[in-house]
Structure 1
Amino acid sequence: MDADTSLVLAFLNTVDVEADTDVLRSQRNWQEWAGQRQLAADPLDEATRARDSLRAAVGDPDAQSHPTRVHIEVALTTAGPALVPGSAVAAVLAAATRLAVLGEWDRIKICPADDCRWAFCDRSRNRSRTWCSMKVCGNREKARAFRQRTATRPT
């Protein structure tokens, strides 16, 4: 997985519905997360709004979009133009922008399982993957649907 995809997924998955954890519940945890990636932590409320907006953009029905603005410079280097973010949120949004420009943004998805909502990258050829994991969420949902179908059948 490339660095942009990894960064965007890591940011989207700072909330874990199944484990009921959220890196953005405390400034300290958020600063640690950003520091581990050699990024400057934005104010917690800005990071939370940005994450909610990104999650809404990739299909999380529980997330709301908020106006999000960050400062990103464009540097002209010998390798060509480069986005130079000034903070963790700006780095994530720069990565998301590169994915969009490359036509890869629609590969970032949210698992539809209510007890999961994990962000994942759909690497299938036709971009039709639904579940974060067919072994876990997909199997659980298919088993649930089967039980509902068989429970309503007359015997």
Structure 2
Amino acid sequence: MSGPAELLRDFVNTYDVETDTDDLTSPQVLRDWLEARGLEPAADLVLARELREGLRAGLRHNHDGVAYAAPEPLETALAALSLRVTVDGGTPRLVPADGAPHRGLAQLAAMIAAAHADGTWPRLKVCVESTCQAAFIDASKNRSRAWCSMRVCGNRTKTRTYRARRQAEGPGMPA
């Protein structure tokens, strides 16, 4: 199984904002996705999508490095999941509550705390390019990466900024 940040990134990226493509097309596809990653199955597609988009909204805040409260869509999704604290080998961690419905989604939610604990949460971000918003892990030394890909999204943003600046300068300005 991947680390918590990788798993959360992959979950958020089951929806492609740019193409409006959702990989989680049915409860069975959701169950398969969770099981393929070593998580328990869950079939509540609506809750899964709410959790995913709540995470995407939360990851937008990881660009500024300031502590924040979880956005309301994430809080709503998390409130529907039953988690408990356990101590395993002297280390506390969140796990789905015994008999809890949506155990696989609760396992995903527990990955938020695990990513905080291992220090990867602040590096988990979504692309600032509004048409993209793909999740990525910022591996830059100073944690300043803003785009999922400099080659694609960074270039789009910089080209738009350049064109807007040129247009504002007006016609007849030297190239």
The TM-score, its normalising length taken from structure 1, stands at 0.83
| Residue pair 1:111, 1:118 contacting (<8 A) in 2 also | yes
SS at match of 1:24: coil
Shift of 1:150: 1.7
Q: Cα deviations across residues 114-141 of structure 1 (Å, max 9, x unaligned)?
A: 2211011111122111111101100111
Q: 1: CA distance between counterparts of 2:20 and 2:26?
A: 14
The TM-score, its normalising length taken from structure 2, stands at 0.75
Counterpart position of 1:124: 140
- Tell me how many residue pairs correspond in the alignment: 152
Flag the 1:42–1:97 CA change in 2: closer, same or farther, 3 A: farther
1:104 counterpart (120, 138, 143): 120
Counterpart position of 1:113: 129
1:93 counterpart (109, 115, 136): 109
Q: Cα deviations across residues 12-52 of structure 1 (Å, max 9, x unaligned)?
A: 11111123211334222212211211321241122122112
Flag the 1:105–1:64 CA change in 2: closer, same or farther, 3 A: same
Give aligned-pair identity as a percent: 37
Q: Which residues of structure 2 form unaligned runs of 5+?
A: 62-70, 98-102
Q: Which residues of structure 1 form unaligned runs of 5+?
A: none
Which one has the largest radius of gyration? Answer: 2
1:18 aligns with 2:34: no
Counterpart position of 1:43: 44
